[in-house]
Amino acid sequence: MTERAGSLSSRPKTLIDKIWDAHVVVDREDGQSLLWVDRHLLHEGSFHAFDQLAKRQARLHRPDLTFGIADHYVPTRNRDSLAPEIKRMVDQLSDNCAKHDVTLFGLDDPRQGIVHVTIPAQGLTLPGTIMVCGDSHTSTHGAFGAYAFGIGASEVAHVMMTQAIWQKRPKAMRVTVEGALPAGTSAKDIALHLIATIGADGAQGHAIEYAGSTIRALSMEGRLTLCNLSIEAGARLGLIAPDDTTFAFLRGKPFAPKGAAFEAAVHAWLSLRSDEKAVFDREITIDATALAPTLTWGTTPEQALPITANTPDPATVGDAARARTLTDALDYMGLKPNQPLTGIAIDRVFIGSCTNSRIEDLRAAAAVLAGHRAKVPGLVSPGSSAVKQQAEAEGLDRIFTEAGLQWVESGCSMCVGMNGDLVPAGERCASTTNRNFKGRQGPGSRTHLMSPAMVAAAALTGHLTDVRTLTQGAHR
């Protein structure tokens, strides 16, 4: 292995290689490396790992690099009277964090929010760091040029005890997106288009670096959305080289380096980019100018199409297994082959989740809704208590409530339904979340994934709608 490491250091490196190489504690003969972990994030679901720790009577190796956040189970309404089951989950996290001296952003903390929204906003996500969390959407933090990935409970326990993790170097994929995003599209549309193109397992075994002029022009919010969805393409993680947009976001954030230390950090971060001649195992290019608002019609994120399209017809698919998969998805979703996507009636909307609940997402939805009434009920759950406060300061909450939508507290909420916010069986929900799996939003629920602006458009008309027809002054 030392030989391989030697030859790697002399040839041009990808950003992925650079971060990897800076974190190797040990390279083992068999190709596994023990990597140092800079940040470890815990949530209510981490109780399995704490139980494993207790069984071994072990302590946390580096509580100062570990942060706990209550998000998966927290109620978004009536927080004073928690259901006993939910209270047990939230209390368990508080007790475990207190016992192990872990900083906790708990239910009453103004810093509370969805882990992948609040941690970056606290300046805890830094370029060039390795971050892990027992949550697959940890890839979100790659927006800052962090090497961030989701792990299972046994690995969480391992990181708790050692502050390190065994990994095999992933293959590197570069997704280059060029050109200006057309009106009505955003990072969500880039991601859904990519997943539909390469498949939900298209990036398996790979880490993705996003590059190109479109990516450079994205705000931090947009980059977070894009990296968040990398896991839905099967990638271990997705990341973006840090630049002035990244540094401007981080300056002055609570846990980020301050003063001269910040300037020194920026200096170090400037080297975090793929060398010009670096070779990727796979390259994908996307022409952003050709994108249309994109949404899912089926039960996996790869079943996504532009809003102008029709549902697929399994009868025209040669491959029997694939035809069976399409038929199954159409049946579950209550749709017919060849049905135009525009016009499919929805029952409710949800705006929230670590994919699309940041201030920019709320602004985009509010811009479509302003001054109008929604035809269906819906829930808007900001990504963190801080985002909620900012949205209220901007008057966005009034736009949502005047449209007839519920404005609630922050948490994972209807993304996963663990806290009791559910889509009833058989109902169809236009949602800004990341998974349209069967039953994800509740048993029997039907989910269509799309951008906040597209969800707002669907709310106004009561059916799946091309947001461009609303914002261009056409009929409502």
Partner 1 sequence: MTPLIVFEAVACPLPLDNVDTDQLIPARFMKRPRSDGYGQFLLHDLRQDASSPACALDQDRFKSCQILIAGRNFGCGSSREAAVYALADFGFRCVIASSFGDIFASNAVKNGILPAVVSPEQAETLLAHQGVIQGETMIIDLPDQCIRIGNHTVDFSIDPVWKTQLLNGWDDIDMTVSYASDIARFNQSDAVARPWAQPDRSPAQ
Q: Quick one: which segment of 187-195, 208-216, 263-271, 462-470 binds partner 1 (CB under 8 A)?
A: 263-271
Shortest approach of ligand SF4 to residue 48 CB, angstroms? 16
Size of the site for partner 1 (CB under 8 A): 77
With tokens 């929204």, the residue in question is 117
Under 8 Å between Cβ of 72 and 416: yes
Neighbour order of strands in the sheet with 428-431? 406-407, 378-380, 348-351, 428-431, 446-449
* Site for partner 1 contains 36 (CB under 8 A): yes
| DSSP-assigned beta bridge partners for residue 420 | none
The verdict on 77 binding partner 1 (CB under 8 A) reads no
Window of 147-155, 188-196, 271-279, 461-469 that interacts with partner 1 by CB under 8 A = 147-155
Question: In this structure, what token pair is assigned to residue 136?
Answer: 């697959």
Binding mask 452-471 for partner 1 (x = CB under 8 A): --------------------
Report the C-alpha gap between 222 and 210 in whole angstroms. Answer: 12
Q: Nearest distance from residue 39's CB to partner 1, in Å?
A: 8
- Binding to ligand SF4 in span 112-131, by CB under 6 A: 114-116
Nearest residue to 379 via CA among 408, 353, 415, 358: 408
Q: Quick check: 416 binds ligand SF4 (CB under 6 A)?
A: yes
Residue 466 near which of ligand SF4, partner 1, none (CB within 5-8 Å, type-dependent): none
Please report how the helices 47-55 and 153-162 are oriented relative to each other, as an axis angle in degrees rounded to 10. 60
Q: Work out the number of other CB atoms within 10 angstroms of the CB of residue 205.
A: 13
Told to check if 421 binds ligand SF4 by CB under 6 A, we report no
Q: Does 134 bind partner 1 (CB under 8 A)?
A: yes
Rounded CA-CA distance 431/371 in Å is 21
From the list 3-11, 262-270, 366-374, 379-387, the region that binds partner 1 by CB under 8 A is 262-270
The nearer residue to ligand SF4, 150 or 306, going by C-beta atoms, is 150
x-or-dash string of contact with partner 1, 158-197, rule CB under 8 A: x--xxxx-x-x-----------------------------
Footprint (CB under 6 A) of ligand SF4, residues 302-361: 353-354
| CA-based nearest residue to 219, from 246, 237, 194 | 246
* List 44, 135, 397, 409, residue binding ligand SF4 (CB under 6 A): 135
Nearer to partner 1, 82 or 368 (CB): 82
- Closest CB 159 distance from partner 1, rounded Å: 10
Among 300, 353, 384, 432, binds partner 1 (CB under 8 A): 300
Contact residues toward ligand SF4 (CB under 6 A) are 71-72, 114-116, 135, 137, 353-354, 412, 415-416, 434
